[in-house]
Structure 1
């Protein structure tokens, strides 16, 4: 999978958030896709980065993304109300699929490394949610096995969510990321970090690493 190539540069005003709004295709080139606009990022105008970094190592969003509301099926086969069941702590949300050769496992590995480096109490409070873009293959059982490779030694369990195609499409729309294409193999590369206020002021892409995630997670938790 090729990565979204645009990386935020501090001090550069109003950059298009191309990094998060690209569809990263496994084994192919990233393609630009219509962004999301408005405060809930459900329109067509591209989102922008803030003129300052806000103290974040990730991408400081000029207009915060709102935590979406959707219910999908978790790796135990139970319904999972995303907004309600992630209300009590910082939340990292990513859309991808288990057969992805690099961006998805790299992102999950970076999240796991970040959680190992922060205060254990913060790691325990943090919600990590992986929503499949390939529901035809990513069953609850498949997601559970896949995410277990990353969270086995952590005080928090990664949540894998699946559903039918219409539900997955709606979840992406609600989150403000472009809908995946090519049977889910071409999808957003953006990892969103929500605070307990239900807003994501920062996001990450392939230009960020575990240290960036850990730094911003601690910052968001302290707000």
Structure 2
């Protein structure tokens, strides 16, 4: 094989590898939960579909999660917490390390696994970081996820942690506006197919890294959270 042909073949293979990486991340980006039954931390099973390419194959050795290109500013949206109070996300969490996740309480797989990863990751970081971090769960199931349902669900995961997980709900238009503000794919199928990203906002009010459901999700969060919590 000539040198020019070998170089051309190598370029094609590298291009194919980059495309495959992007496709795999896109497939994981939006998770569809396929059961109508309530779920706890041990749920398993589900499907997924492609989503936008903002979460991509670019890597940064600083982080263990998936790098966001470009970084996303902390979104501004207003919903209602489980105590019935107005919650302005941008103002309430400003300057605090914050993990934001969209999902629903009847999800049998992605949501409970992800929330368990978040809880386990928090338990592995220094106490000061753990105390400073806010966890916000926004339901995509407007019809079924009432305030008491969300509160009971999140209580399964935040036991023993210094900050309760904050559960938010609202009208369909309000939930849609929150997803648009956070730059995640809009949930479909009455909220059952939703973004699988956990966005991590730092003290500078930008999210530079996100997490997807994985076998080492808690370890990724435990590694990256102190980096953004202690950044100046």
Once the 2 structures are TM-superposed, how far is the Cα of residue 139 of structure 1 from its aligned partner?
Answer: 1.1
Alignment root-mean-square deviation, CA: 1.9
**Equivalenced residues, count:** 201
Matched residue, 2:144: 137
SS in 1 for 2:123: helix
The 5-angstrom pairing of residues 168-179 of structure 1 reads 168-179=175-186
Q: Distance in 2 between matches of 1:110 and 1:79?
A: 28
1:30 and 2:75 matched: no
1:205 and 2:223 matched: no
Q: Distance in 1 between matches of 2:32 and 2:101?
A: 15
Q: Distance in 1 between matches of 2:155 and 2:213?
A: 22
SS in 2 for 1:30: strand
Of 186, 201, 226, the match for 1:218 = 226
The 5-angstrom pairing of residues 94-113 of structure 1 reads 94-113=101-120
1:150-194 CA-to-partner distances (Å, cap 9, x unmatched) read 112101110000001110011001100010011100001110000
Once structures 1 and 2 are overlaid, which stretch shifts more, 12-21 or 100-109? 12-21
Q: Distance in 1 between matches of 2:228 and 2:27?
A: 19
1:151 and 2:158 matched: yes
Once the 2 structures are TM-superposed, how far is the Cα of residue 20 of structure 1 from its aligned partner?
Answer: 7.8
Q: Distance in 1 between matches of 2:190 and 2:55?
A: 28
Gaps in structure 2 of 5+ consecutive residues: 1-16, 35-45
1:16-61 CA-to-partner distances (Å, cap 9, x unmatched) read 483487321113531113x2xxxxxxxxxx3254744241110012
Q: TM-score, normalised by structure 1?
A: 0.84
Q: TM-score, normalised by structure 2?
A: 0.81
1:162 and 2:169 matched: yes
Q: Distance in 1 between matches of 2:200 and 2:58?
A: 19
Structure with more of its chain in helix, by fraction: 2
Q: Distance in 2 between matches of 1:152 and 1:88?
A: 25
Q: Distance in 2 between matches of 1:100 and 1:51?
A: 29
Q: Distance in 2 between matches of 1:145 and 1:139?
A: 10
Matched residue, 1:7: none
Q: Distance in 1 between matches of 2:223 and 2:27?
A: 19
Of 179, 191, 203, the match for 2:198 = 191
Runs of 4+ in 1 over 4 A off after TM superposition: 12-15
